[in-house]
Structure 1
């Protein structure tokens, strides 16, 4: 469990569901890894994309994630990180607010569903 002050993301990262955190605090979560961050004070959690930052003394996150975790910019956040498994990653992809993430994820899921229906119809035609 770590406790760091929360800072706003740089403008280049605005609108994305990412958290920037120095590797020393990332609990072996790789760069571009999906993690569940939990505010230990109120048990609110959120799935995020983890990226690095040179600042070892702060955690950077956008407004939407701060609001979901119940923390204000400048306040200290006591948090835990848990690496997301395959289902957690899939959940992050299809529920992300960023259209550049969720639109391709939904297209892929629809493509898989159509492909499975094709396999079923093909198998039924052999019977």
Structure 2
């Protein structure tokens, strides 16, 4: 089914969220990270519902999501090109999110994980050196 693209309200800009009526989301639950593809472009977003518009064949996106997908208001997107994101893709969403409240902590976590791994590696090297020197 084709969904017509609509502009999101001002308070939903920078949220990386799309609103799709429950009847057109299939098995995708509210709050799920989804992957949307259109004309070779892809974007990750959080799927939310459209209260009071459960029958409307529309998808509501902010300007940034539309720009990444290469669509305009009134364009059509095939609902078959919207699916749940895989685990690795969810991490991609966190790191690429438009909202700084999402992507800054994600990058801090990735950097911390890298530093933790480096610390373990240096500890092992130190232990091996100590064992060999004894």
TM-score with structure 1 length normalisation? 0.86
Q: Is the 8 A contact 1:35 1:47 kept in 2?
A: yes
Query: How far, CA to CA, are the matches of 1:97 and 1:37 in structure 2?
Result: 16
Q: Is the 8 A contact 1:27 1:81 kept in 2?
A: no
The structure that is helix-richer by fraction is 2
TM-score with structure 2 length normalisation? 0.82
Query: How far, CA to CA, are the matches of 2:75 and 2:34 in structure 1?
Result: 21
1:1-127 alignment, distance < 5 Å: 2-39=1-38, 42-54=39-51, 55-56=53-54, 57=56, 58-79=58-79, 80-127=81-128
RMSD of Structure 2 on Structure 1 (CA):
1.6
Secondary structure in structure 2 of the residue aligned to 1:100: helix
Write out per-residue CA displacement over residues 58-115 of structure 1, whole angstroms, 9 at most, x where no aligned residue.
2110112222223221333334212111110111111112211110000000111111
Query: How far, CA to CA, are the matches of 1:89 and 1:121 in structure 2?
Result: 30
Which sections of structure 1, spanning at least 5 residues, go unmatched? Answer: none
Higher Rg: 2
Which sections of structure 2, spanning at least 5 residues, go unmatched? Answer: 129-134
Query: How far, CA to CA, are the matches of 2:35 and 2:3 in structure 1?
Result: 17
Secondary structure in structure 2 of the residue aligned to 1:28: coil
